[in-house]
């Protein structure tokens, strides 16, 4: 049985990773004012950051239209794949899951398509997608791939340290972290997205203390961590954090990457995220 893995551009996987593992990526759209771009296809990550630094408009994101998923699902089914498993950005922060589900219904008579909510973002999603793709290439069935992702979902933790809540506030993705608004906008907020929604996890007065807090979250689970990703929105202090983590975790299992436009639009410049998977 052959299974094709599909995801969306919030996974923050590199083009090389997607090509190597046979992963299709459906892009969300990014807008600055009235200018709209398809993530990665029409707006490279570096170009996005340049625009965010100079634009008077905060970037906004929009889920892919169902038709974008339909096109990919149909193409892979026509090519002869027995099933398609589509793993998406958390339904708690985006309508992408809803869009992919509508697409699944449209092609329901054409083949087996499964939709899975990662309940995660950036490398949390990306790690699940990579694991699913590796399993599929080793002959796993659609049922087995879905079960794998659902298991990883419960063992994945995502934390973030951001410099400002302005992007989250204006983008409407603040979730249960409302208590951090108002006079608290001047602090260094810490957020937990492990359940797929943005929750308050703590508050620090300095950036350095925020990085120490992230390090301590890893220290709490150091003996249980199977994989660890450190993602950042062009943060100039990223090496400070990776140096701290190197004393706790085998550096060979640490993946460092850049947060793409989908998450950075809401997290804002300088955000640093930790995504790790606990052993089963």
Q: CA 98 to CA 100: how far, in whole Å?
A: 6
Q: What is the pLDDT of residue 205?
A: 86
Q: What is the pLDDT of residue 209?
A: 94
Residue 257 has pLDDT above 60, yes or no: yes
Average pLDDT (73-87) is 98
DSSP structure class, residue 253: G
Residue 259 has pLDDT above 60, yes or no: yes
Percent of the chain with pLDDT over 90: 81
Q: What is the pLDDT of residue 44?
A: 95
Average pLDDT (246-271) is 91
Q: What is the pLDDT of residue 182?
A: 47
Which range (12-16, 163-167, 210-214, 242-246) has the least confidence?
A: 163-167
- Collapsed DSSP state (helix, strand, coil) of residue 108: coil
Evaluate whether the domain defined by 3-154 bears CATH number 3.20.19.10: no
Residue 183 has pLDDT above 80, yes or no: no
- Written as one string, the DSSP assignment of 27-92 is PPEEEETTEEEEBTTTB-HHHHHHHHHH-SSPPEEEPPPHHHHHHHHHHHHHTT-SEEEEEES-TT
- pTM of the model as a whole: 0.91
Q: CA 106 to CA 128: how far, in whole Å?
A: 25
Q: What is the pLDDT of residue 159?
A: 97
Domain locations along the chain: 3-154, 156-278
> What CATH class is the domain 156-278?
alpha beta
The label of the residue with tokens 């996005």 reads 48
Q: CA 228 to CA 85: how far, in whole Å?
A: 24
What digits encode the pLDDT tens for the residues 221-249?
999 999 999 999 999 999 999 999 998 99
Q: What is the pLDDT of residue 185?
A: 53
Q: CA 134 to CA 79: how far, in whole Å?
A: 20
pLDDT category at 187 given cuts 50, 70, 90 is confident
Average pLDDT (109-131) is 98
Helix axes 238-246, 207-220, angle to 10 degrees: 30
Which residue, among 171, 150, 160, 151, has the nearest Cα to 123 in the 3D structure?
Answer: 160
Average pLDDT (26-53) is 96
Tell me the CA distances in angstroms from 30 to 79, 185, 192, 266, one per residue in order: 30, 25, 24, 11
Provide the CA 233 distance to its chain's centre, in angstroms.
Answer: 13
Q: Give 172 or 238, the one with higher predicted confidence.
A: 238
Cβ contacts of 277 within 8 Å, gap of 6 or more: 127, 152, 155, 156, 157, 225, 226, 227, 228
What digits encode the pLDDT tens for the residues 136-159?
999 999 999 999 999 999 999 999
Average pLDDT (48-77) is 95
């Amino acid at each position: 049985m052959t299974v094709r893995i599909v995801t969306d551009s919030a996974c923050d996987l590199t083009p090389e990773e997607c090509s190597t593992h046979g992963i299709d990526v459906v892009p969300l759209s990014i807008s600055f004012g009235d200018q709209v771009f398809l993530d990665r296809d029409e707006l490279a990550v570096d170009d996005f950051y340049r625009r965010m630094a100079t634009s008077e408009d905060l970037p906004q994101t929009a889920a892919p239209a169902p038709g974008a998923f339909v096109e990919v699902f149909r193409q892979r089914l026509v090519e002869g794949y027995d099933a398609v498993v589509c793993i998406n950005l958390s339904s708690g922060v985006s309508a992408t899951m809803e869009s992919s589900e509508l697409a699944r219904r449209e092609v329901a008579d054409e083949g087996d398509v499964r939709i899975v909510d990662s309940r995660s973002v950036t490398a949390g999603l990306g790690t699940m997608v990579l694991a699913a793709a590796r399993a599929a290439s080793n002959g796993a069935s659609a049922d087995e791939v879905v079960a794998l992702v659902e298991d990883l979902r419960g063992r994945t933790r995502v934390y973030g340290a951001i410099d400002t809540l302005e992007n989250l506030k204006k983008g409407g993705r603040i979730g249960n972290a409302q208590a951090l608004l108002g006079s608290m906008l001047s602090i260094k907020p810490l957020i937990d997205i492990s359940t797929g929604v943005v929750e308050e996890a703590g508050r620090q007065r300095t950036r350095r203390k925020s990085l120490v807090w992230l390090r301590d979250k890893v220290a709490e689970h150091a003996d249980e961590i199977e994989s660890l990703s450190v993602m950042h929105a062009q943060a100039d202090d990223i090496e400070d954090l990776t140096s701290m983590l190197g004393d706790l975790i085998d550096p060979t299992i640490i993946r460092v990457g850049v947060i793409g436009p989908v998450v950075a639009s809401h997290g804002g410049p300088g955000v640093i995220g930790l995504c790790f998977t606990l052993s089963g």
